[in-house]
Amino acid sequence: MIDCAPPRSETAPLRQALPALACDAHCHIFGPADVFPYVEGRPYTPPDAPFEKLRALHEKLGIARGVIVQPGCHGTDMRPVLDALEKGRGRYRAVALLAPDISDEALADYDARGVRGVRFNFMAHLGGAGFDQVERIARRIGPLGWHICLHTEGPLLASLLPRLEALGVPFVIDHMGRVAAAGGLRDESFQALLGLQGNANAWVKISGPDRISSSGKRPFADARPFVQALVDTMPEQLLWGTDWPHPNVRGEMPDDGELVNFFTELCPDPAVQETILVTNPQALYRFDEP
Protein backbone atom coordinates (compact mmCIF):
# COMPACT_ATOMS: atom_id res chain seq x y z
CA MET A 1 0.00 0.00 0.00
CA ILE A 2 1.32 3.46 -0.93
CA ASP A 3 2.23 5.38 2.22
CA CYS A 4 3.89 8.48 0.72
CA ALA A 5 2.19 11.50 -0.79
CA PRO A 6 2.94 12.28 -4.46
CA PRO A 7 4.88 15.40 -5.42
CA ARG A 8 2.99 18.55 -6.33
CA SER A 9 1.88 18.62 -9.96
CA GLU A 10 2.25 22.40 -10.28
CA THR A 11 5.25 24.54 -9.43
CA ALA A 12 5.58 28.23 -8.64
CA PRO A 13 7.03 30.40 -11.42
CA LEU A 14 10.75 31.09 -11.11
CA ARG A 15 11.82 34.59 -10.20
CA GLN A 16 15.30 34.12 -11.63
CA ALA A 17 16.70 31.74 -14.25
CA LEU A 18 19.37 29.31 -13.12
CA PRO A 19 22.82 29.33 -14.73
CA ALA A 20 23.53 27.10 -17.70
CA LEU A 21 24.43 23.53 -16.67
CA ALA A 22 22.78 23.97 -13.26
CA CYS A 23 22.67 20.67 -11.37
CA ASP A 24 20.03 19.20 -9.07
CA ALA A 25 22.44 17.22 -6.89
CA HIS A 26 19.80 15.34 -4.91
CA CYS A 27 16.75 13.75 -6.51
CA HIS A 28 15.18 10.30 -6.69
CA ILE A 29 13.18 8.11 -9.02
CA PHE A 30 10.65 5.48 -8.00
CA GLY A 31 9.70 2.62 -10.28
CA PRO A 32 7.55 2.40 -12.24
CA ALA A 33 6.77 -0.53 -9.95
CA ASP A 34 5.39 -2.70 -12.74
CA VAL A 35 8.81 -2.52 -14.44
CA PHE A 36 11.11 -2.11 -11.44
CA PRO A 37 9.32 -3.57 -8.40
CA TYR A 38 10.02 -2.22 -4.95
CA VAL A 39 11.96 -4.55 -2.65
CA GLU A 40 10.40 -6.65 0.09
CA GLY A 41 10.79 -5.20 3.57
CA ARG A 42 11.16 -1.66 2.20
CA PRO A 43 10.93 1.22 4.67
CA TYR A 44 8.20 2.95 2.64
CA THR A 45 6.11 2.52 -0.50
CA PRO A 46 5.91 5.62 -2.70
CA PRO A 47 3.76 6.36 -5.72
CA ASP A 48 5.62 5.89 -9.00
CA ALA A 49 7.92 8.76 -9.92
CA PRO A 50 9.84 7.57 -13.00
CA PHE A 51 12.75 9.25 -14.73
CA GLU A 52 10.53 10.80 -17.40
CA LYS A 53 8.70 12.86 -14.78
CA LEU A 54 11.97 13.91 -13.18
CA ARG A 55 13.35 15.03 -16.52
CA ALA A 56 10.17 16.97 -17.29
CA LEU A 57 10.48 18.80 -13.96
CA HIS A 58 14.12 19.64 -14.64
CA GLU A 59 13.30 21.03 -18.07
CA LYS A 60 10.56 23.17 -16.54
CA LEU A 61 12.95 24.53 -13.90
CA GLY A 62 15.87 25.08 -16.27
CA ILE A 63 18.00 22.35 -14.68
CA ALA A 64 20.43 20.70 -17.10
CA ARG A 65 22.04 18.06 -14.89
CA GLY A 66 21.03 15.85 -12.01
CA VAL A 67 22.29 13.34 -9.46
CA ILE A 68 19.89 10.49 -8.77
CA VAL A 69 20.23 9.11 -5.26
CA GLN A 70 19.20 5.47 -4.89
CA PRO A 71 16.12 5.31 -2.64
CA GLY A 72 15.52 2.81 0.14
CA CYS A 73 12.36 1.44 -1.47
CA HIS A 74 14.52 -0.09 -4.24
CA GLY A 75 17.17 -1.35 -1.83
CA THR A 76 20.37 -2.31 -3.63
CA ASP A 77 18.52 -3.02 -6.90
CA MET A 78 20.15 -0.37 -9.07
CA ARG A 79 18.32 -1.26 -12.29
CA PRO A 80 15.95 1.76 -12.33
CA VAL A 81 18.80 4.20 -11.70
CA LEU A 82 21.10 2.59 -14.28
CA ASP A 83 18.23 2.72 -16.78
CA ALA A 84 17.79 6.43 -16.01
CA LEU A 85 21.52 7.10 -16.46
CA GLU A 86 21.34 5.55 -19.91
CA LYS A 87 18.28 7.61 -20.82
CA GLY A 88 19.95 10.75 -19.46
CA ARG A 89 22.76 10.55 -22.03
CA GLY A 90 25.46 11.98 -19.84
CA ARG A 91 23.34 14.61 -18.08
CA TYR A 92 22.89 12.52 -14.94
CA ARG A 93 25.06 10.84 -12.35
CA ALA A 94 24.05 8.59 -9.44
CA VAL A 95 24.72 7.70 -5.83
CA ALA A 96 24.20 4.03 -5.00
CA LEU A 97 23.11 1.79 -2.18
CA LEU A 98 25.47 -1.19 -2.28
CA ALA A 99 25.27 -4.76 -1.06
CA PRO A 100 28.18 -5.46 1.32
CA ASP A 101 29.45 -8.27 -0.92
CA ILE A 102 29.36 -6.34 -4.20
CA SER A 103 32.14 -7.42 -6.56
CA ASP A 104 34.94 -5.25 -7.91
CA GLU A 105 33.61 -5.96 -11.39
CA ALA A 106 30.18 -4.58 -10.48
CA LEU A 107 31.75 -1.47 -8.96
CA ALA A 108 33.74 -0.87 -12.15
CA ASP A 109 30.57 -1.33 -14.22
CA TYR A 110 28.66 1.16 -12.07
CA ASP A 111 31.51 3.63 -12.39
CA ALA A 112 31.47 3.36 -16.18
CA ARG A 113 27.71 4.04 -16.17
CA GLY A 114 27.94 7.17 -14.04
CA VAL A 115 27.72 6.15 -10.39
CA ARG A 116 29.94 8.43 -8.31
CA GLY A 117 29.17 7.68 -4.67
CA VAL A 118 27.65 5.36 -2.06
CA ARG A 119 24.94 6.38 0.36
CA PHE A 120 24.57 5.25 3.96
CA ASN A 121 21.49 5.86 6.08
CA PHE A 122 21.99 6.60 9.77
CA MET A 123 18.27 7.16 10.20
CA ALA A 124 16.17 5.03 12.52
CA HIS A 125 13.20 4.81 10.14
CA LEU A 126 15.44 3.67 7.27
CA GLY A 127 17.41 1.05 9.16
CA GLY A 128 20.62 2.64 10.38
CA ALA A 129 23.93 1.45 8.98
CA GLY A 130 26.99 0.48 11.01
CA PHE A 131 30.10 2.60 10.59
CA ASP A 132 32.23 -0.48 9.99
CA GLN A 133 30.32 -0.85 6.70
CA VAL A 134 31.21 2.73 5.79
CA GLU A 135 34.90 2.12 6.48
CA ARG A 136 34.98 -1.07 4.39
CA ILE A 137 33.24 0.53 1.41
CA ALA A 138 35.38 3.68 1.65
CA ARG A 139 38.52 1.59 1.15
CA ARG A 140 37.04 0.00 -1.96
CA ILE A 141 35.68 3.13 -3.63
CA GLY A 142 38.69 5.35 -2.99
CA PRO A 143 40.52 4.24 -6.16
CA LEU A 144 37.39 5.03 -8.21
CA GLY A 145 37.26 8.64 -7.00
CA TRP A 146 33.83 8.08 -5.46
CA HIS A 147 32.50 9.66 -2.28
CA ILE A 148 30.53 8.60 0.78
CA CYS A 149 27.08 10.16 1.05
CA LEU A 150 25.64 10.25 4.55
CA HIS A 151 21.98 10.66 5.48
CA THR A 152 21.83 11.20 9.20
CA GLU A 153 20.05 13.00 12.01
CA GLY A 154 21.40 16.15 13.60
CA PRO A 155 22.21 14.71 17.05
CA LEU A 156 24.61 12.19 15.46
CA LEU A 157 26.57 14.73 13.43
CA ALA A 158 29.11 15.79 16.02
CA SER A 159 30.18 12.18 16.65
CA LEU A 160 30.08 11.04 13.01
CA LEU A 161 31.99 13.90 11.37
CA PRO A 162 35.43 13.10 12.87
CA ARG A 163 35.06 9.50 11.71
CA LEU A 164 34.12 10.63 8.21
CA GLU A 165 37.08 12.99 8.09
CA ALA A 166 39.39 10.09 8.98
CA LEU A 167 38.25 8.02 5.98
CA GLY A 168 40.44 9.89 3.52
CA VAL A 169 37.76 9.99 0.80
CA PRO A 170 35.29 12.77 -0.08
CA PHE A 171 32.04 12.72 1.88
CA VAL A 172 28.71 14.51 1.47
CA ILE A 173 26.23 15.34 4.23
CA ASP A 174 22.66 15.20 2.93
CA HIS A 175 19.99 17.78 3.81
CA MET A 176 22.23 19.96 5.99
CA GLY A 177 22.59 17.06 8.41
CA ARG A 178 18.88 17.24 9.19
CA VAL A 179 19.58 19.60 12.06
CA ALA A 180 16.48 20.91 13.81
CA ALA A 181 15.73 24.54 13.00
CA ALA A 182 14.23 24.93 16.46
CA GLY A 183 17.71 24.44 17.91
CA GLY A 184 19.00 27.64 16.33
CA LEU A 185 22.26 28.42 14.61
CA ARG A 186 24.31 27.88 17.77
CA ASP A 187 23.17 24.26 18.04
CA GLU A 188 26.14 21.89 18.46
CA SER A 189 25.16 19.87 15.40
CA PHE A 190 24.99 22.85 13.08
CA GLN A 191 28.21 24.31 14.45
CA ALA A 192 29.89 20.97 13.72
CA LEU A 193 28.64 21.26 10.14
CA LEU A 194 30.05 24.77 9.79
CA GLY A 195 33.29 23.44 11.23
CA LEU A 196 33.84 21.54 7.99
CA GLN A 197 34.83 24.79 6.28
CA GLY A 198 38.14 24.37 4.51
CA ASN A 199 38.09 20.55 4.53
CA ALA A 200 38.70 19.64 0.89
CA ASN A 201 36.93 16.28 1.30
CA ALA A 202 33.78 17.67 2.93
CA TRP A 203 30.60 18.66 1.09
CA VAL A 204 27.16 19.68 2.37
CA LYS A 205 23.87 19.60 0.48
CA ILE A 206 21.65 22.62 1.03
CA SER A 207 18.65 20.48 0.19
CA GLY A 208 15.57 19.55 2.18
CA PRO A 209 14.69 22.78 4.00
CA ASP A 210 11.40 21.06 4.82
CA ARG A 211 13.37 18.32 6.60
CA ILE A 212 14.99 20.73 9.04
CA SER A 213 12.01 23.05 9.41
CA SER A 214 10.26 22.88 12.75
CA SER A 215 7.03 24.31 11.33
CA GLY A 216 6.64 21.93 8.40
CA LYS A 217 4.87 24.69 6.50
CA ARG A 218 5.87 26.15 3.16
CA PRO A 219 8.03 28.04 2.41
CA PHE A 220 9.90 26.64 5.45
CA ALA A 221 11.09 30.08 6.49
CA ASP A 222 12.75 28.84 9.70
CA ALA A 223 15.29 26.95 7.54
CA ARG A 224 16.45 30.15 5.82
CA PRO A 225 19.08 31.20 8.40
CA PHE A 226 20.74 27.80 8.15
CA VAL A 227 21.01 27.90 4.37
CA GLN A 228 22.22 31.50 4.55
CA ALA A 229 24.91 30.64 7.10
CA LEU A 230 26.21 27.80 4.91
CA VAL A 231 26.19 29.95 1.76
CA ASP A 232 28.04 32.72 3.57
CA THR A 233 30.57 30.38 5.19
CA MET A 234 31.49 27.65 2.69
CA PRO A 235 30.02 28.11 -0.82
CA GLU A 236 32.90 26.16 -2.39
CA GLN A 237 31.76 23.07 -0.47
CA LEU A 238 28.00 23.22 -1.12
CA LEU A 239 25.68 21.31 -3.42
CA TRP A 240 22.01 22.10 -4.01
CA GLY A 241 19.17 19.72 -4.70
CA THR A 242 15.38 19.52 -4.87
CA ASP A 243 14.95 16.14 -3.12
CA TRP A 244 12.15 15.43 -5.64
CA PRO A 245 9.75 13.65 -5.31
CA HIS A 246 10.09 14.31 -1.57
CA PRO A 247 9.54 10.88 0.04
CA ASN A 248 8.30 10.61 3.61
CA VAL A 249 7.41 14.29 3.93
CA ARG A 250 5.72 14.85 7.29
CA GLY A 251 4.59 18.44 6.77
CA GLU A 252 3.43 20.24 3.66
CA MET A 253 4.66 18.94 0.33
CA PRO A 254 7.41 21.24 -1.01
CA ASP A 255 6.87 23.20 -4.22
CA ASP A 256 9.94 22.68 -6.42
CA GLY A 257 9.61 26.10 -8.00
CA GLU A 258 9.53 27.64 -4.53
CA LEU A 259 12.66 25.65 -3.64
CA VAL A 260 14.52 27.20 -6.58
CA ASN A 261 13.30 30.66 -5.52
CA PHE A 262 14.30 29.88 -1.92
CA PHE A 263 17.86 29.24 -3.13
CA THR A 264 18.20 32.20 -5.49
CA GLU A 265 16.81 34.62 -2.88
CA LEU A 266 19.39 33.51 -0.34
CA CYS A 267 22.14 33.30 -2.93
CA PRO A 268 21.54 36.17 -5.40
CA ASP A 269 25.17 36.54 -6.55
CA PRO A 270 25.47 34.91 -10.01
CA ALA A 271 29.09 33.94 -9.34
CA VAL A 272 28.18 32.11 -6.14
CA GLN A 273 25.23 30.44 -7.89
CA GLU A 274 27.64 29.25 -10.57
CA THR A 275 29.92 27.82 -7.90
CA ILE A 276 27.20 25.91 -6.09
CA LEU A 277 25.10 24.79 -9.05
CA VAL A 278 27.77 24.14 -11.70
CA THR A 279 31.38 24.18 -10.53
CA ASN A 280 30.97 22.11 -7.36
CA PRO A 281 28.87 19.29 -8.85
CA GLN A 282 31.20 19.17 -11.84
CA ALA A 283 34.14 18.60 -9.47
CA LEU A 284 32.42 15.87 -7.45
CA TYR A 285 30.38 14.03 -10.09
CA ARG A 286 32.65 14.56 -13.14
CA PHE A 287 29.99 15.25 -15.77
CA ASP A 288 32.59 15.82 -18.49
CA GLU A 289 33.65 12.16 -18.46
CA PRO A 290 31.96 10.00 -21.10
pLDDT at residue 118 greater than cutoff 60: yes
Quick: pLDDT tens for 51-69.
999 999 999 999 999 999 9
pLDDT of residue 250: 87
pLDDT of residue 126: 46
pLDDT at residue 123 greater than cutoff 90: no
210 catalytic? Reply is no
Give the residues across from 221 on adjacent strands: none
Quick: pLDDT tens for 157-208.
999 999 999 999 999 999 999 999 999 999 999 999 999 999 999 999 999 9
Provide the residue ranges of all domains of the chain, joining segments of one domain with +. 23-285
> Are 12 and 263 within 8 A, CB to CB?
no
pLDDT at residue 16 greater than cutoff 90: yes
pTM for the full model? 0.96
Give the domain 23-285 fold: TIM Barrel (3.20.20)
pLDDT of residue 1: 85
Q: What is the mean pLDDT of residues 36-55?
A: 96
Q: Which of 24, 174, 243, 256 is catalytic?
A: 243
| Confidence at 289, pLDDT banded by 50, 70, 90 | confident
